[in-house]
Amino acid sequence: MSLDTRSVTLHLGLIAALIVLGFVLPTYHQGNLARILVLATYAVGYNVLFGYTGLLSLGHAMFFAAGMYGCGLAMHLGGVTVIPALVIGLICAAALSAVVALLALRTIGVAFMIVTLMFAQSVYLTALYLGEWTGGDEGFVIAQASRQIAGYALTDPLTRYYAALSLFAIALLITARMMQMSFGRVLIGVRENEERTRMLGYDVFRHKLAAVVISGTIAGAAGAGYAVLFGYVGATFASVQYSIFPLLWVLLGGMGTTIGPLVGVAFMFYLIDYASGITNAYMLIAGAVLVLLTLFARAGIVGEIRNRWAPWLP
Amino acid sequence: MMLLETKGLTRIYGGLRAVDTVDYTLAKGEIHALIGPNGAGKSTFVGMVSGRIPASEGEVWFDGENVTALPAHARIQRGMAYTFQITAIYARLSLFDNVALALGQRDKAKVRAALDRVGLANRMEQIAGDLAYGHQRLLEIAMGVAQTPRLLILDEPTQGLAESEIEEFNTLIRELAGDTTILLIEHNMSVVMALADEITVLETGKILARGTPAEIHANADVQNAYLGTG
């Protein structure tokens, strides 16, 4: 099998397996996995920028939140139905990421991290400041009756699971395809050697700009999806914690691998779930496991598998 | 017909004029060598030509167009290619990926053909960083050639190459000549003498002499400044 066929088989196989899982899993895990898939979509978006382009953002929560608030407020205050609300969420995230990119990409390295962090903090504080509409810290709940697409209630666990899976599958397939095309290879070129890439005639700034917008828009799609599927919008999702999460997920799963983000989210979710069943100090167990992983699997779970056994993994 | 022209090109570092009001022309199809002692300003000069280093003063004209204000990538898109003095390949990517990025397309046959020109076609799937140093230099040259540039700037291409590889390099450059104009910075005088149609000698940022290899060899100033009296 050629590299491209293997990669297509892997991604379609993964999606097929997730479709089957929806039928066989008990409701508890179905709900968990729906949440994991939405958060994995967020991580897939983050991976475009961090894993493939080599730009470390500490402010991605603002894009997640832009999608979430754009979509959630349109439904909550504007009475917009789900599909147009999702589109509004996407537009908000795309617009915010374009503006942030134009300003933040003037910096590199640590300065880029700090600038994105500061932008995200101002988005977070804005969400709190506009509490009259956003509900501030407490957030707001989107009415159950409005959370439906063409008569299918997204509050139903199975429907919600497949809606989450559709969102994730679209993000996964788009990014996987993108990374096989010339555009994606240039992003990797920027990550590996920016000066060389410029001296091959590529407009590095424009490629980085596109990477931020694509990454931010996918993160926003995840935020909008979260609002619609779980019916809650709150400022926590704009906080610095939600900027650190995708970094952790991608590092754990394997940066610059297509399926690493999903593996990272699922691993961390079930690690915390399992540890909290044993002790109240579950973060202690989670922390120890994370330290061990970073010590002994520095490329992340999928990254390590790729390095040791399967160099073809996309 | 001039492919490249610089007018009063200058680069000032602090108080030092690393390249000092250089007026230079390069005719289409020529192989031109730029020589001079270390610190003469050769790399700075080609850096300004390619846009890597902004000029402090002066102008760069490429194929009748003033490109002084253009960023590096735009000059490359207009038909320049640049190989670095210190090898700058994608060390963690395969040779295929390296050349495909230079080509701008992922066409296996074309990548193979480009690698074949430097004898690396059978290593297409290998990771570039695993190659021996000389092979990395050859890969870098292959990437420059793959861009089918009109002006190919080579900064010390034969540094670290074995004698046999230098022979192959000379053959490759002769094949390219005619279609491609070549600006070559080189310390290895036998390469310069074997390849160059014309030579420019740079010293402390200024052009000391310009002429055919025979003229340069006979030039008393050059002998004193650079070649030694032997």
What residue segments make up the domains of chain A, in order of their start? 3-237
Query: What average pLDDT does the segment B132-158 reach?
Result: 93
CB-based contact A200 B147, cutoff 8 Å: yes
DSSP E strand stretches across chain A: 140-141, 148-149, 152-153, 232-233
Q: With a cut of 50, say whether residue A199 has pLDDT above it.
A: yes
Cross-chain Cβ contact B72/A198 below 8 Å: yes
Tokens for A2, please give them.
């050629």
d(CA A262, CA B179): 51
Amino acid, single-letter form, for residue B219: N
Query: Quick check: helix, strand or coil at residue B9?
Result: strand
* Strands of A54-189, DSSP E: 140-141, 148-149, 152-153
Is the four-CA dihedral B223, B224, B227, B230 of positive or negative sign?
positive
In whole angstroms, what separates CA A264 from the centre of its chain? 11
Length of chain B: 230
Residues of B within 8 A of A189 (CB-CB) are: 90, 93, 101
B213: three-class secondary structure by DSSP: helix
**CA distance to partner chain B, nearest, from residue A305 (Å):** 17
Query: With a CB-CB cutoff of 8 Å, which residues 141-160 of chain B face chain A?
Result: 143, 147
List of chain A residues whose C-beta atoms are within 8 Å of the C-beta of residue B73 = 198-199, 201-204
Percent of chain B's residues with pLDDT above 70 = 98
Q: Which of A145-149, A237-241, A306-310 has the highest mean pLDDT?
A: A237-241
The reply to whether residue B101 touches residue A198, judged by beta carbons under 8 angstroms, is no
Residues from chain A contacting residue B107 (CB–CB below 8 Å)? none
What is the distance between the alpha carbons of residues B99 and B114, in angstroms, rounded to a whole number?
A: 7
Q: Say if residue A204's pLDDT is above 60.
A: yes
pLDDT band at residue B227, thresholds of 50, 70 and 90?
low
Q: Give the pLDDT of residue A3.
A: 63
**B2-13/A148-149 β-pairing:** unpaired
Residue in the structure block whose two tokens are 């230099």: B137
- What whole-number distance in Å separates Cα of residue B135 and Cα of residue B82? 17
Mean local confidence (pLDDT), A278-289: 85
What the block records as the tokens of B202 is: 């740079």
Residue B228 confidence class, pLDDT cut points 50, 70, 90? low
Shortest distance, CA A174 to any CA of chain B (angstroms): 19
Q: A-side interface with B, Cβ within 8 Å?
A: 182, 185-186, 188-189, 192-193, 195-204
pLDDT at B223: 80
Residue among B53, B85, B90 with most chain A CBs within 10 A, to mutate: B90
Q: Which residue in chain B is spatially nearest to A192 when comparing CA positions?
A: B90
Measured between alpha carbons, how far is A215 from A233 in angstroms, rounded to an integer?
21
Residue whose tokens read 């994995």: A40
Cβ of residue B52 closer than 8 Å to a chain A Cβ: yes
A192 with B73: Cβ contact below 8 A: no
Nearest chain A residue (CA) to B77: A201
| Residue B172, number of CB atoms within 10 A of its CB | 18
Identify whether the C-beta of residue A7 lies closer than 8 Å to the C-beta of residue A180: yes
Cβ neighbours around A143 below 10 Å, total: 11
- Residue whose C-alpha is closest to residue A70's, from A299, A259, A238: A238
Q: Minimal Cα distance from B87: which residue of A?
A: A196
Q: How large is the average pLDDT for residues A168-191?
A: 95
Residue A269 has pLDDT above 90, yes or no: yes
Contact predicate B187/B159, CB 8 Å: yes
Q: What is the model's pLDDT at position A98?
A: 98
Mean pLDDT of the B195-212 span? 94
Half-sphere exposure of A246 (CA within 13 A, CB side): 37
CA-to-CA distance for A165 and A17, rounded, in angstroms? 11
B198 token code pair: 């014309």
pLDDT bracket for residue B77 (50, 70, 90): very high
**What per-residue confidence (pLDDT) applies to A230?**
96
pLDDT of amino acid A2:
61
Distance CA B10, CA A303 (A): 48
Nearest Cα residue in chain B from A185: B101
**A199/B102 Cβ within 8 A:** no
Type and span of the H or E element at A28: helix A27-47
**pLDDT reading at B47 higher than 80:** yes
- Establish how many alpha carbons lie within 13 A of residue B146's alpha carbon, considering only the half-sphere containing its beta carbon: 32
From A199's Cα to the closest Cα of chain B, the distance in A is: 6
Residues in chain B with CB shorter than 8 Å from the CB of A186 are 101
Residues of A with Cβ-Cβ distance to B92 under 8 angstroms: 192
Mean pLDDT of the residues in chain A:
94
- Given a cut of 60, whether residue B164 has pLDDT beyond it is yes
Q: Averaged over B70-80, what is the pLDDT? A: 96
Structure tokens at B68: 């002084």
Integer Cα distance of B66 and B95 in angstroms: 35
ipTM value, please give it: 0.91
B93 and A203 within 8 Å at the Cβ level: the answer is: no
Looking at residue A32, its amino acid is N
Taking one residue from A and the other from B, the number of pairs with CB-CB distance under 8 angstroms is 56
Q: What angle do CA A237, A300, A48 make, to 5 degrees?
A: 55
Among A243-252, A293-302, B59-68, the minimum mean pLDDT is found in A293-302
The more confident residue out of B145 and B86 is: B145
Strand partners, B181: B151
Indicate if the pLDDT at residue B230 is higher than 50: no
Number of C-beta neighbours around residue B109 at 10 A: 7
Output phi, psi for B31, to 5 deg: -105, 115
Tell me the chain A residues in contact with residue B100 when contact means C-beta distances shorter than 8 Å: 182, 185
